[in-house]
Chains A and B, each alone.
Chain A
Amino acid sequence: MTVTAIDAEPIVSVRGLSKRFGDVTALDDVSLTIEPDKIYGLLGRNGAGKTTLMQILTGQDTQTSGDVTVLGGTPFENARVLRNICFIKESQTYVDDLRVKHVLAAAGHLMPGWDREFADRLLDDFQLPLCRKVKKLSRGMKSTLGVIIGLAARAPLTLFDEPYLGLDAVARHLFYDRLLADYAEHPRTIVLSTHLIDEVSNLLEHVIVVDGGRIIVDDDADALRRRAVVATGPAETVDAFAAGARVLHRESLGSQARTTVERTATEPERALLRAAGVELEPVSLQDLVIATTTGAREITA
């Protein structure tokens, strides 16, 4: 198709990005590309550098070295770029004395793509009290306020950094529902950073895993799920299957073993393994992230 060439134009392009705070290296030679109209998962442990990366992408902070291009420009103090970005972070300050309706009105003034009707519908869905002052909101309500702003802003590049601290499971699933439904109608680039990997794994089209300030996984979500399998069964057979491939995780109990191994199995292999009593399951995104991040830790240690 003729559009593919245009489609390849990235929304975010980062080359050799490093950020140091004193003698702490928060980001170390990070390079990545974010393509338009996809949902990205930015995953990693606490202190891995996810928030720092997003702070730099959204012009909240500056890098120590490297090149960052967002929507065709450097984001820092660039009004043309920033007006197309909405960054909802867990630690966002809202003005204490303002009421929820004031905060939403303010967001409406600042976000060019703001959809007031959508915001009203979300308010109704999440049951957020319109006239309550920000300082009287519970942790969960504050998160809800952020989620509503992030969705109703309809910014071409929307980033959520741990957006739902204090939200219960029902509210979180409501958020996923509304996000997916609105994304289908108004495609845009969404970066979701979270610890609840299993909950969002079906949402994500692309996964980036940061660990110790470096990117250790940057892959299509489907490709990632095919990258490894979990084999459970007699230890000997399982180990034979895993031989030569990278073992991400292994636990054994007596003669039984359960191994996460970075390889695929062909159909004849699967049949053979099944006959030998070995069960193969696809690896969950969460297990894969845990395995890769703890693995990388051992290497650097």
Chain B
Amino acid sequence: MTTQTATTTMTPPRTEPGSDSRIGAVLRVHTVAWPLLIAWPVAILASSFLISYTIYFLVDNDQEEGFTGSVFSVYGFVLAFYLQAMAQTFPFTLGMSVTRREFFSATALLALAQSAVFAAALYLLSVVEAATDGWGVWMRMFGLADYLTDNPLLQFLTIFSTLLLTTAIAIAAGAIYQRWRATGLLAAGVGVLGLGGIAAIVITWARWWPAVGDWFADSPRALPLVALPLTGTAIAIAVAWLALRRATP
């Protein structure tokens, strides 16, 4: 049998040209149950929309636009989705011989695309909302970003960058868990809390709060609304990769 099989043996490991990387394959694993990916956020938004709409309709709201806050459910969904991706899809794909680099690249790509699609959808819904006097009942569900700026592009980018930041934090938390388990998460939580606390103490001690407030008020809107979340995203993604590159599920 050895001689007969020797010829098949030495055909070098299969490498179809152009398919060297499995980033595309990992993307397809993320989206293999795509109804889950699309149907859930749509269902969450639709049900909270219907509930809010009914309430606004019943109470005959006709003066101030009331903000429902249910748009934050999208952020919650994104957080849950990427925590699950790190907790389960990562060990699954790694078990299927995917490299950490391939998994990470695919997940980051998905995060970019998903944030862009969700941000576009939310922005378009906010435009419709504004055009229809809050769906005819002065309800404000999607128009979160236009509290902060009138620039349409900035509104879109604000939603996009904050969604991306949420995703990046979920990926970083998941990566820290995969590398150092609960101890790592707790340590990271204490670390972030500690840094925030020290910053608050220093700012208070130096009486910098008015200056901080001025910065947020005076700097170009794009800085706090887009550049700040994107900086946070970059930091979280860097932390995530440092943790994940040697993580063993």
Counting CB contacts under 8 A, is A261 at the interface? no
Number of interface residues of A (CB under 8 A): 51
Query: Once the chains bind, are A77 and B100 in contact (CB under 8 Å)?
Result: yes
Q: In chain B between 25 and 54, which residues have their CB closer than 8 angstroms to a CB of chain A? A: 25-26, 28-29, 32-33, 36
Counting CB contacts under 8 A, is A178 at the interface? no
Q: In chain A between 121 and 168, which residues have their CB closer than 8 angstroms to a CB of chain B? A: 149, 155-156
Query: Once the chains bind, are B2 and A112 in contact (CB under 8 Å)?
Result: no
Query: Once the chains bind, are A109 and B8 in contact (CB under 8 Å)?
Result: no
Query: Once the chains bind, are A86 and B36 in contact (CB under 8 Å)?
Result: no
Query: Once the chains bind, are B33 and A98 in contact (CB under 8 Å)?
Result: yes
Q: Contacts A7-B2, A109-B25, A109-B28: A61 and B248 contacting too (C-beta < 8 A)?
A: yes
Query: Once the chains bind, are A37 and B95 in contact (CB under 8 Å)?
Result: no
Query: Once the chains bind, are B22 and A79 in contact (CB under 8 Å)?
Result: yes
Query: Once the chains bind, are A111 and B101 in contact (CB under 8 Å)?
Result: no
Contact with B along A46-89 (1 / 0, CB 8 A): 00000000010011111000000001100001111111111111
With a CB–CB cut-off of 8 A, which chain A residues contact B95?
60, 87-89, 92-93
* Contact stretch, chosen from A100-108, A210-218, A232-240: A100-108
Query: Once the chains bind, are A112 and B16 in contact (CB under 8 Å)?
Result: yes
CA distance A107 to B95 in the complex (A): 10
Q: How many A-B residue pairs have CB under 8 A?
A: 129
Which of A62, A72, A79, A103 sits near B99, CB closer than 8 Å?
A79
Least CB distance from B75 to A in Å reads 20
Residue of A nearest to B101 (CB): A77
Q: Would you call the interface of chain B mostly helix, strand, loop, or mixed?
A: helix
CA distance A187 to B9 in the complex (A): 8
Counting CB contacts under 8 A, is A3 at the interface? yes
Residue among A9, A80, A93 with the most chain B CB within 10 A?
Answer: A93
Binding site for B on A (CB under 8 A): 1, 3-4, 6-7, 9, 36-37, 55, 58-62, 71-72, 77-89, 92-99, 102-103, 105-107, 109-113, 149, 155-156, 187
Interchain residue pairs A-B with the least CB separation, the first 7: A3-B6, A93-B91, A82-B97, A109-B25, A187-B5, A36-B9, A106-B29
Residue pairs across A and B with Cβ atoms less than 8 A apart, 15 shown, are A3-B7, A9-B10, A59-B99, A83-B14, A87-B95, A93-B249, A95-B88, A95-B92, A97-B36, A106-B93, A107-B96, A109-B28, A110-B98, A112-B14, A155-B97
